[in-house]
Copies of this chain bind each other. A is one copy, B any other.
Amino acid sequence: MTHTTEKWLEDIRWNEEGLIPAVVQDEKSGRLLMLAWMNRYALRLTAETGRAVYWSRSRHKLWNKGEQSGYFQFVKELRLDCDNDAVLLSVEQVGDIACHTGRRSCFFRKLEDGHWLTMDSPVRDPDEIYR
């Protein structure tokens, strides 16, 4: 744990809840996998361990991505945007499944004729993943 060089964490403009949105992209395919949230500790752990750690806003706790499913995300690159209020993770997605529905990406619905149309099928049944 590096406690001395935390300038990079100070640069971040956290929101009122102390969070920043993290956009997650597959480093190989370029596919957008998900958008999650991080607090300061999650971002630090992510950088230090090389595994994606988020803040679960629904469960109000740290979320070690893959802890239940085994579908970890190995972080290859971490980027910050021009306003210091969004980060981008390029990841190696273990199992090629990022979504809790068993799909590759959380963005599996597309707007078509005024409806959100499901485009992609699950790679694996979520009941098999979370049991």
Q: Is the CB of B82 within 8 A of A108?
A: yes
Q: Is the CB of B106 within 8 A of A82?
A: yes
Q: What 1/0 flags go to A24-37 for Cβ under 8 Å of B?
A: 01000111101100
Total copies of the chain: 2
Q: Is the CB of B110 within 8 A of A77?
A: yes
CB distance from A73 to the nearest CB of B (A): 16
Chain A interface bracket (under 10, 10 to 19, 20 to 34, 35 or more): 35 or more
Interface residues of A, Cβ cutoff 8 Å to B = 2, 5-8, 11, 21, 23, 25, 29-32, 34-35, 47, 77-83, 86, 88, 99-101, 103, 106-111, 114-116, 119
Q: Is the CB of A25 within 8 A of B21?
A: no
> Which of B23, B78, B100, B107 contacts A111 (CB under 8 A)?
B78
Which chain B residues border A30 with CB–CB below 8 Å?
A: 29-31
Output the nearest chain B residue to A110 by Cβ-Cβ distance.
B79
